[in-house]
Every structure is written in C-alpha cells, then in structure tokens.
Structure 1
Amino acid sequence: MKKHKIAFLINSLSSGGAERVLTTLANNFIKTYEVSIITFISTPPFYDIDKRINVIPCFDIIRPSTNPFQALIGNYRLFKKIDNIIKNNDFDLLISFMTTANVLGIGVGKLNKIPVIISERTNPYHQQLPRLWQWLRTISYRYSDILVVQTETIKKFFDGKINQDKLRILPNPISNELTTNRILNNYSNKKNVILNVGRLTPLKGQEMLIRAFAQTNHKGWELWIAGNGPEYDKLKKLINELKVADQVKLLGLVKDTPTLYNTSKIFAFSSTYEGFPNALIEAMHFGLACISTDCPTGPAELIKDGENGFLVPMNDIKAMGEKLTILMEKPSKIEEFGEKSVLTVRQYEEYNVISKWENIMKRLI
C-alpha cells in the first residue's frame, strides 16, 4: 500500500521549542508516512532528524527587509517557492508551525487543494506581530482544516475567530530521546545546582533569577543558565556586579540537556510569558524540584503551589529567592517535589501525544 506523503512547514530547524516538537513528530511519522520538512531557510538541524526525512529549504538565506515593499516582494517569493515545492511533490497533508508559516501554508494548501493543519506555538495574547500579520492571521486561520494550540488559555484567544470544530488542544510531547537518557531516583549523585534553560531574552527573566539567587545564602550551590541570546553581555555584567561569578554559570547553547537535568537538583523557571513551557515540563519529567513564575500560559496548569513545586509572582525577586532558599535548605522537599513532578507530566510523554496527532491526521487523509 502506498504511503501518504506529509510535509511540515517551519521557518528553520534551529534550536527552539517549536523545532524540537516538529522534529519529534516527524521522526515518529516517518514510520507510517513519507515525510518532508520544508524550511524557509537552510540551517543545520539542531535536533537529530531521521535520515529518511527529506529536508527541503526554500532559500539558503533570507535577508531582512528594510521597507514594506521589500517585505511584500520577499513574502511573495517565499510563497511561490513553497507553492512550487508542494506542486512538485504531490503531498497529501501540510502541517505548519508558527504564525508566518501558518498563514503561508493555508494559502498554499488552498491553491493545491490539500488539507492543512496549523500549529500556534506562542502565546497570541503577548505575541508582538506587525499589524499586517495580525490581520492575515485573523483572516486566514479560519480557512485551516485544524488549528492546534497547546493550552486552554490559548484556545480561548481563538474562540469566535475560528470554528470550534477545528480547534484542538495538544500539548508538546516529551521526546523519547529525553526519556531514554533520563536517570531517576538518583538524588545522591546530583550536584547542588539550580538550573535554568532558555533563550537569553528579557521575556525569559534570567536577570530576575540571577538577582534572586544572589540574595540567598547560596554557599555550596551554583546557578547554571543554559541558552544563548541578546542578553548574554548584560547578564554577564550583572553577574560580575553582584559578585557571584564563581556561582553563576552562563553555559551558552547546550544540546545535551539530559546531562544537565540529570545533574541538577532544582529547576528555576523565570519567564514572563510562554506559549507552552517546554523546559519546565522537561525538568519535571527528569524529577527536578521546580520553581516557576506564575506567567501566562502553562506553569499553573503544571504546578500546584506547595504540592509538586512552587509558583511565584512574575518579576518578584524576593519571592523567588525565598522559595529557592526553602529548597536549598530542605533536601527532603526537593525529593518530594521531584517524585510528584514525574507523575504530573506523564500525560506529555511522546506516545500519548503522538497518538492524538495521528487521530487528527487520519480524519484528513
């Protein structure tokens, strides 16, 4: 029997939550379907991709536009390139990730008369989109076949904008790669490390976390921050000013996150908003005791304050420092939260989420 042909559409295959989820889905679907990934630009995949998957970049590079006319021409060229790829490969289904790809994917899907599943990967309440793209999102999304969102809060944003029968809440899967490399019940071999994983941007709140850590009695503990981004120099300067350079480590972009999770005891999540807190779920999956800001959206759906972790107000340095101190001083609380965290996120393990995706796809092809 001939396999159905599926194409994913995304900006690139660089590091990031959306890219990890897309890669996890593609690596699973290749067992049943012919799978291709169409990217706007050519970048080396950050996450491991099955060799049977065909990666098709539209362009080697796309230079930023300097005026609206250039932007219009650039997006038209990109649209036509995607359209030609779809036509030449006779795909049965298109699955797009993130707003720009979603808008372009819907148009290409309609032209080629193939179903399109779009996946919104960020929090639209806080997403900073140019007005034109906001308008295009509002107009185009209603013509998708399925819109996948990650939380109930994000679903509410699209209520009234799209037919309810097309809306699906599907969380991000925890990849089998992470599960395979997970070491549980290993508390005695862990280090006194507080871990944060995320891009170094103001939205991820690492400045607040560093200040909170500096205010604690952190003797014998270290704070590790894994990620890169535009805030690196600013955070490095802050670390030196607070005289915590021996305790706070900026690790840069780390591909081997399982080793970090297996090594650390506490995970501190300091974001001001999220589409879906991938790093927090991964840390809970590895049995870390987690402290998170109560930001929109996701943390409050995962952590019940005081039961399986701590929630603190956003940008509250004092509250974050107090909760860090509680965990640093109570090893039994770290173990308790860690054990409960593992149970909390079982529903996000790969096989559970993949089966839900496949049920949606089978309705369309």
Structure 2
Amino acid sequence: MQKVEGGTEDARGFAIAIVLSGIGAGGTERVVSMLANRLARNGWRVTIITPEATDAQSYYPLDSSVDIVRLGLPAARYGRFRGRWVAIRRILGLRRVFARLKPDVILSFLTRTNVQSLMAAVGMDVPVIVSERNNPAMQEVGPNWNRLRSLFYPRAHGLVVMTSGALSFFPESHRRRSWVIPNFATLPHGVVARRDGKVLTAVGRMVHQKGFDLLLQAFARIARRFPDWTLALWGEGPERETLERLVHGLGLEGRVHFPGLSQRPGGWIESADVFVLSSRYEGWGIVLLEAMAAGLPVVSFDCPWGPAEMVEHRQNGLLVPPEDVEELSRAMALLMNDPALRDRLAQAAKSDSRRFEPDRVLSQWEDVLLQAAVHRHSGSTQRRLAPAA
C-alpha cells in the first residue's frame, strides 16, 4: 500500500461524504462514527449522509464538526413500485447533496446504499469507494440489486471488505482496487467486564442470520445441568417474538432474558460472564471482538466469515463447527464448568485483541481515503506518493 508523505497534514482541506443507511446502533455505524471523528480531527471536512428521518439521532458520539444530512426517506416496508420510487428519490437526493458538497471522495457502506451512491455520482469527477460489511455470499439482496451491483461496482474507485473470504466473492471487474480492512476492537469509556456472575451473553439484531434460535436449542440441552446460569439475548429485531415463543417451547422460562438494546454502547459487557456468537454467517462479528477486548471468555460458531480470524481454538476462545448445536452446547458447558479455563481464555483473548486496536485499523482507512482524494487531484497537484513503511 502507498501513503502520502506528510501524514495527516496532507489531508487538511479535503472533503469526504460518507453514505450509510442509518446512524443508529450497529457495527457499521460504530465504524463510521469513529472514522468520521478521526478524519475531522485530522483536518477533513466530513459529512455523513443517511436516508433516515430528519430527526434521526446518532447512537454513537460524533465530533461537533461532523455534518449530518438526513434525506427524510427512511427504510420501511414498501410495495414494489413504491419501493422503486423511494430508491429513485434517494438517488436524486444523494446527487443533489454530492453536487452541493463537491467532495473529494465519497465513501459508501452496504450493498444497496453502495449502488445508489454510485448511481448518484455518475458523471461526477469524484472517486467512490464502496464497502461491503456482511458476507456477500450469504446475504440476500435480491436479483435486481445483484444485477445493479454487477453493473455499477465496476465504476467504483475501489472496494473495501473485512475478510479475504469476502473479497474472493467479487470478480476482478468489481475490485479494480481493493483493500481488506478488519473491524477494530474498542470499548466505550467506563465499560468494564466484571465476570462475577453466571450469565451467558449474546448480542445482535434478532434476525435469522444471528442464529439465536440455535443458541436457545444449545442452552436447552444443558440448562438443567447448570441451574444457576442464565442466558441474556441483547438486541431487538423482527424475530424477537418468535424467539420468545421458542423459549417457552423449550421450557426455558426464567432462564432466558431479553434486555433489549443496551442504554449505552457496550453496556451489555458489564453483566456478561461468557460471550457466545451463534451466527449462521457474518461479515466480521464485531461483538465477538468487543467481548475479547473486554476480557470475556468466548465461544463461537466458525461461521463464514470472521470468527476464525479472531479466535484460535482453545488458545483464546472456543470455535465449533457452523450451526452444530450439539457441539455448541458442549463448548458452552465446558466453559460454564471450568472457571480456570474461563480465566485463561479471557486473558488470552484480551491480549490477542490488541492486533485490532482502533488506531491501527483507522489509519488503514485514512490511507485509502487519502490516496483516493489525491488520485482525483493528481493532474493538478504536486503531492508526492511514497511507499508505505
């Protein structure tokens, strides 16, 4: 990779437009908030653009110099024709904002938003970098969006993914320039893992991907052996009622709790003793990394992709075959039954998570964006590129 000599000083005066579907709670939103804050501190003019309602508030703190533009076209269940009309309005809205801001680089997150950003920027002399944050081989975006992605991704300046597995999904035409940048491990100030109880914890949006139904089945197999342990499922989503019915069907009343969203980012860590990732697939699995950074013992499905890049089996956590409920229950029982093993794995997890410190990861993002901005002006500037150290 190359970098611009002079470090962040060369970024001053550059403008970036960051486009994403929402500014609420979530892994992508966390990355965007921290990246936007870093860029703003380093002299970039930063604008976040979201289709959300005009009164939408950011779940994560943002620097006072970061502007937010809300298009007032939030996600909702639309019929086919209504949905297309809303998508067109979003594209037109993005194009108007791009024309007004005249950014040096556009950074877009998630497939549908990426396609809309690329369409909105057609004919504009501005590089667009798109980032996929999930597992593109497993995530269903629909045939129309797949076709549009195939048509417009070759127009992107470059593609950022979190794992080599995700990168291998895309043909060469979709990644003229490409970068694998992992997620980072970060804990909000004041959040500390206490690990003085007996609570299994899982965190995520309550959707099929997260596999909470598999986790409940695994817990049901061992619950009677560990009557003093409980399971907390943090998050909200369309499958919550289905999961609550499953709790009843498995006879787990009083043993499983649904606390909802934590009142502050990372607050769920403070009541967790063992963290479990039961996802069928992931783009990365940022909550797994957060648990490791907090010094929690972890057990995870070895799902595609992400967990195997963070967890080394029996060294800093436990990995079990994807969607194998029986093996998941055994791994959970192993940790629940062995405090010494929990302590050993927790200490190793906390140490190993330093590979993903925010400053290291965010500096990779800034290098990519700076290269793109300089590339746009390469015909009229004397900025000099030097090999990275």
State the TM-score bracket (shorter-chain normalisation): over 0.9
Which stretch shows the higher mean deviation, 88-97 or 310-319? 310-319
Shift of 1:182: 4.4
Q: What is aligned with 1:360?
A: 368
Deviations 1:239-258 (A, max 9, x none): 22333222211111224353
Match of 1:304 in 2: 312
2:125 to 103, 113, 118: 113
Aligned-partner SS, 1:73: helix
Shift >6 Å, 4+ stretches: none
Of the three residues 14, 33, 54, the one matched with 1:4 is: 14
Kept in 1, the 8 Å contact 2:159–2:175? The answer is no
**Number of residues paired by the alignment?**
358
Partner of 1:132: 144
**What is the aligned partner in structure 1 of residue 249 from structure 2?**
241
Of 14, 36, 46, the match for 1:26: 36
**Contact kept in structure 2, 1:289 and 1:338, CA below 8 Å:** yes
Is residue 162–residue 183 contact of structure 2 (8 Å, CA) maintained in 1? Answer: yes
* 1:38 and 2:49 correspond: yes
Alpha-carbon distance in 2 for matches of 1:9, 1:134: 19
Which residue in 1 is equivalent to 2:335? 327
Partners of 1:181 and 1:258 within 8 A in 2: no
Deviation at 1:266, TM superposition (A): 0.7
How much has 1:63 moved relative to structure 2?
Answer: 5.2
Calculate the aligned-residue CA RMSD, in Å: 1.9
1:276-332, Cα deviation, whole Å (9 max, x unpaired): 111111111111111111111111121122222111123322211111111111101
1:174 counterpart (185, 201, 204): 185
Q: Is the 8 A contact 1:93 1:114 kept in 2?
A: yes
Counterpart residue identity of residue 210, structure 2: K
Written as runs of structure 1 = structure 2, the 5 A alignment for 1:126-275 is 126-164=138-176, 166-175=177-186, 178=187, 180-183=189-192, 187=195, 190-216=196-222, 217-275=225-283
Conserved 8 A contact 2:73-2:86: no
Asked if structure 2 preserves the Cα contact closer than 8 Å seen for 1:7 and 1:36, the reply is yes
Question: Percent of pairs identical after alignment?
Answer: 29
Q: Deviations over 1:192-247 (max 9, x none)?
A: 11110011112211112122112211222111110111221122122223332222
8 Å contact kept, 1:194–1:224: yes
Partner amino acid, structure 2, of 1:193: V
Distance in 2 (CA, whole Å) between partners of 1:264 and 1:71 is: 40
**5+ long unaligned stretches in structure 2:** 1-8, 374-389
Tell me which amino acid in the other structure corresponds to 1:183.
Answer: V
C-alpha change, 1:305 and 1:57, in structure 2 (3 Å) is: same
Taking structure 2 as the reference length, the TM-score comes to 0.87
